[in-house]
Structure 1
Amino acid sequence: MDTANPLLVSGLKMAGDGSEMRKNPTLICVPIMADSIDKMVADMAKAKASNADLVEIRLDSLKNFNPFEDLKVLIKECPLPTLFTYRPVWEGGMYDGDEKERLDVLQLAMELGADYIDVELKVAHEFIKSINGKKPEKIKVIVSSHNYQNTPSVEALGNLVAKIQSTGADIVKIATTAVDITDVARIFQITVHSQVPIIGLVMGERGLISRILCAKFGGYLTFGTLEPGVISAPGQPTIKDLFDLYNFRQLGPDTKVYGIIGKPVGHSKSPMLYNEAFKSAGFNGVFVHLLVDDLAKFLQTYSSIDFAGFSCTIPHKEAAVKCCDEVDPIAKSIGAVNCIVRSQSDGKLFGYNTDYIGAISAIEDGLRARYNISSITSSPLAGKLFVVIGAGGAGKALAYGAKQKGARVVVANRTYERARELADVVGGDALSLDDLACFHPEEGMVLANTTSIGMQPKIDETPIPKNALKYYSVVFDAVYTPKITRMLQEAEEAGATIVSGLEMFIGQAYEQYERFTGLPAPKEQFRRTMSKY
């Protein structure tokens, strides 16, 4: 990493009491996109109260705009440094008028005391030439380029930076679009080696990590919105999440990156769980959402030891077995990996399965509670008929775990052939999902759903009709968003003891946290954190 870059130099080190005091120099900017001056002034005050460093005032969002009077008010009333942007339609903005008038407004903002102005590369040469000799010393001109289609090659990005620099820009801004999460690596590469202040961001959900990890790789600023969804570009997090969820101020060049790999992945509560625990333990790591399409490509691209460990969820658990250099024997026999740890000595990837431990122990607790069993030496699953819905990674883990505990396993899956395949491995029986409704050879069975059926946003879905649930004593659902799925609600109404996916989630996270950090899992804190959601 280029530590000569002044943007990468950490400020404060460890405090005397051992708490982390280091702050990165990356600024947090709140975009102000109101349609009236009054609302903009109110939003500026909110940005100040949210501990933002500056605001970006999007003049193109205003419905009525009197430049001279309104700019004076905005600059005078703003409690933070101001960045003025007047984005035209041709660069993804809302201004659709005369170009000379638009650039005159930006020059007027500069003369009235703005701290930054953002001008597009297409007109930057002409604009910077026109303000030559008039530019106050304190003002910084950001020259920006937006690509709403893709993220070019490193070579093309390097040429783009040089082109922006040649305009006389004080700060370079590049915003590209993530077609794949690996696109973000090219922006990181450009950012970390830049000899000039640079804002490098990648738009869209696959680009989210660019907005968080820019603090690690030396970006000049990132954007955080006041409210979810009120964004100036796709994929912006809220300022609250930057501070409270990602501990943004504490990220630096030496911060280790962890994350939850999945598709979809935005619903996952893992970042809440791990980041809070990292913060409490003073562990220099950050845990992020990683929307991954191709696991092998992702792991090859982010191969630095800085990317130190990953939780793995649907649909990548089985592919993860092939992507690791070494796989734990239990994970290998299950055929699914949900925890990947990168060795800090040689960069090798080690794969584990912690799903079955978390889920099986939660189901056993449910059985003990139902039948008032005090013994913990033998498993209450022994001899039980255990029905697993789903033959993917989590299904394999539960079928294997139940078999280990002495249960008789039945696998139900949409595709009968996949159910049969897994059933053969664990010495069980197979059903198609359609046949599950009529399957009740005995009372008091255990049911475990390991599919995503019933997960947000499709919360009205369920893998099994309500009338079939009366044959089960304990019903478990691996889905935990929502906490009580339709299946669990109907199972409870049918008289079953229910076990939420949250129990599995917390249980499997204990071991992952310990593998990631080498520290004991803060079990009580995990439970407190998850009780909020």
Structure 2
Amino acid sequence: MKKPLICLTLTCKTIQEDLKIIEKYRPYIDCVELRADHLEEDECLHIRQFPRLANIPCILTIRRRIDGGLYVGGESARTMLFARAMAFADQNEKNNFTYVDFEDDFHIPSLQDACMAFGTRIIRSMHDMNNPVYDIVEKCNAMRKTGYEIPKIAFQPHTLDDVTHMFEVAKKFNDYDHILCAMGPLGTPSRILSAITHSYLTYTSPIETMANTNAIGHLDPITLNEVYNFRDINEDTKIYGITGWPLAHTSSPELHNKGYKKHGMNCVYVPIRTPKLAEAIRFCDSVGVQGMSVTVPHKETVLPELDRIDEEVADIRASNTIVKEDGVWAGYNTDASGFTKALQEFLGVEKLHHRRVAIIGAGGAARAIAYAIKKLGGKACVFNRTLTNAKIIADKYGFKAAPLTPDSVFDLEIYSDIIIQTTSVGNGYYGPSNDTNDPLYFYNFKGTENVYDIIYSPEITPMMSRAIASGCHVSNGYSMLKHQGYKQFKLFTGVDYGDDTN
């Protein structure tokens, strides 16, 4: 089986800038796509020299706006630009474009003949920037006029089910070279698992110009190689993942994939984003995913999808880990044990006797943390905007409940020995504290509190920043992520993760 190529999409304004980008990423890529529609007008006069200057196989693309590009000129002018870029073919094929991307409705016989004569392969592409594509094989067959062309289909999925359909179609679709891309955050698995869809290549973007391709959903080639071990993925690779929504920030792939590489395992762990948990289960069942980490907002809604659960899940009523065992889904909770180890390290104590704890939030993570606090002998008050949800947790463990409002400052002060922030508020936020990124914006830290925020991106949330400024003992949630991730790794693989400093 051919390994998919890694293609770096170049969207700088000048050729010189694009060439600098190539040098930085050369060790991580196999070819580049020159997006001439992003070049300044004067720069387009020199694209014929680009393959020689780049010294790497090149795709020439001049993408129209209707297909997600920036080119706004007429088709005659675009045809002339293609012709100028391919003219005077060099006897050394390395100095010519290796590929050229023509849309499925762009048929210019003279250009196609030139490609055949010069050894330039045509990528015949179809883009739907708004909707999914279902008749993938039929469309690829129709685009493939000769055995020399590579049909490409890129579409915008509406749901993860649209991506699942693409993987199902691709299972037996390996008769000829093709490229399949599902765009946006839902389509991330199609970028990483190109070997599973038998895709000829996967597109990436440099970090420096990632803003130009945000809507498309590219990864950068360093992440693809060093986090996801892309070149090692094949049809025999065992797949694991993490599901949640929007799942914009997660370090779990780095932790798990590092473990697989360390132990020489043919496994990969990928983000499986969806607002609907049932769609993630269908994706796993179709693609053969063996296990998933489960995060916000699915830790509780996953329970009806499980065939069996362990004792902690039964007590906590939330699962953050599911594993395919004997053909059925089993649910586990590693949040409680991961948090326990992290909190013990943070405080330097084994038990929480005589400690009063404020638990902020009432979601799946809060349930696991309340369970852990009870086991450790602490007393707690659960604070949540919806008081009834806080009471459900509090009543289960004999804790107190209070609304998460300025009116509860007195209760917060009483239970301020340890403050544990379990919500997603502050995730991905930088800058000063306000009522949208700091769940305790109304509380003035005294400097005596131990503050643990389960968020780890950013490393210091707005709430943590205020606590640090007041002299509090503070930790983010990376230690919890690490410890619960080690247990997940063992559940997935049967192997101890080991020392992650190696």
**TM-score relative to the length of structure 2:** 0.90
Does 1:37 find its partner at 2:15?
Answer: yes
Match of 1:131 among 104, 107, 112: 112
Match of 1:447 among 399, 410, 419: 419
- Range with greater deviation from structure 2 (111-120 or 481-490): 481-490
Aligned to 2:143: 164
Contact kept? 1:177, 1:203, Cα under 8 Å: yes
Aligned to 2:207: 227
Match of 1:341 among 293, 303, 323: 323
What amino acid does structure 1 have at the position aligned with 2:329?
A: L
Aligned to 2:162: 183
Deviation for aligned residue 1:469: 3.6
Deviation for aligned residue 1:285: 1.2
> What whole-Å deviation, never above 9, does each CA across 1:240-294 have from its counterpart, x for those lacking one?
1111111111111111222221222121111111111211111111122222110
Aligned to 2:93: none
Contact kept? 1:446, 1:472, Cα under 8 Å: no
Aligned to 1:99: 75
Aligned to 1:298: 280
User: Which secondary structure does the structure 1 equivalent of 2:78 belong to?
Assistant: helix
Q: For residues 275 and 464 of structure 1, do their structure 2 counterparts lie closer, same or farther at Cα, with a shift above 3 Å needed?
A: same
Contact kept? 2:455, 2:461, Cα under 8 Å: yes
Contact kept? 2:380, 2:415, Cα under 8 Å: no
Aligned to 1:477: 453
Deviation for aligned residue 1:482: 2.1
Aligned to 1:510: 486
User: Which secondary structure does the structure 2 equivalent of 1:417 belong to?
Assistant: helix
Q: How does 1:101-250 map to 2 (within 5 A)?
A: 101-111=77-87, 112=89, 113-123=96-106, 126-128=107-109, 131-132=112-113, 135-136=116-117, 138-153=119-134, 156-166=135-145, 170-194=149-173, 195-228=175-208, 229-232=210-213, 234-250=216-232
Does 1:355 find its partner at 2:326?
Answer: no
Deviation for aligned residue 1:407: 2.1
What amino acid does structure 2 have at the position aligned with 1:142?
A: I
What amino acid does structure 2 have at the position aligned with 1:149?
A: N
Does 1:279 find its partner at 2:256?
Answer: no
Deviation for aligned residue 1:523: 3.5
Aligned to 1:405: 376
Aligned to 1:436: 408
CA distance in 2, matches of 1:383, 1:303: 47
User: Which secondary structure does the structure 2 equivalent of 1:288 belong to?
Assistant: strand
User: Which secondary structure does the structure 2 equivalent of 1:275 belong to?
Assistant: helix
Match of 1:325 among 293, 304, 307: 307
Deviation for aligned residue 1:498: 2.6
Deviation for aligned residue 1:131: 3.4
Number of residue pairs matched by the alignment: 487
Instruction: Identify unmatched segments of 5+ residues in structure 1.
Output: 1-8, 10-23, 374-378, 529-533
CA distance in 2, matches of 1:38, 1:497: 49
Match of 1:393 among 364, 368, 381: 364
What amino acid does structure 1 have at the position aligned with 2:137?
A: G
What amino acid does structure 2 have at the position aligned with 1:420?
A: K
Contact kept? 2:48, 2:84, Cα under 8 Å: no
Aligned to 1:64: 41
Q: For residues 442 and 55 of structure 1, do their structure 2 counterparts lie closer, same or farther at Cα, with a shift above 3 Å needed?
A: closer
What amino acid does structure 2 have at the position aligned with 1:158?
A: V
Deviation for aligned residue 1:140: 1.0
- Range with greater deviation from structure 2 (258-267 or 312-321): 258-267
Contact kept? 2:30, 2:57, Cα under 8 Å: yes
What amino acid does structure 1 have at the position aligned with 2:196?
A: K
**TM-score relative to the length of structure 1:** 0.85
CA distance in 1, matches of 2:500, 2:30: 35
CA distance in 1, matches of 2:114, 2:425: 64
User: Which secondary structure does the structure 2 equivalent of 1:319 belong to?
Assistant: coil
Deviation for aligned residue 1:172: 0.8
What amino acid does structure 2 have at the position aligned with 1:354?
A: T
Contact kept? 2:299, 2:320, Cα under 8 Å: yes
User: Which secondary structure does the structure 2 equivalent of 1:258 belong to?
Assistant: strand
Aligned to 2:92: none
Match of 2:5 among 14, 27, 38: 27
Match of 1:520 among 478, 496, 502: 496
Instruction: Identify unmatched segments of 5+ residues in structure 2.
Output: 90-95
Contact kept? 1:443, 1:472, Cα under 8 Å: no
Q: For residues 320 and 193 of structure 1, do their structure 2 counterparts lie closer, same or farther at Cα, with a shift above 3 Å needed?
A: same
- Percent identical: 30
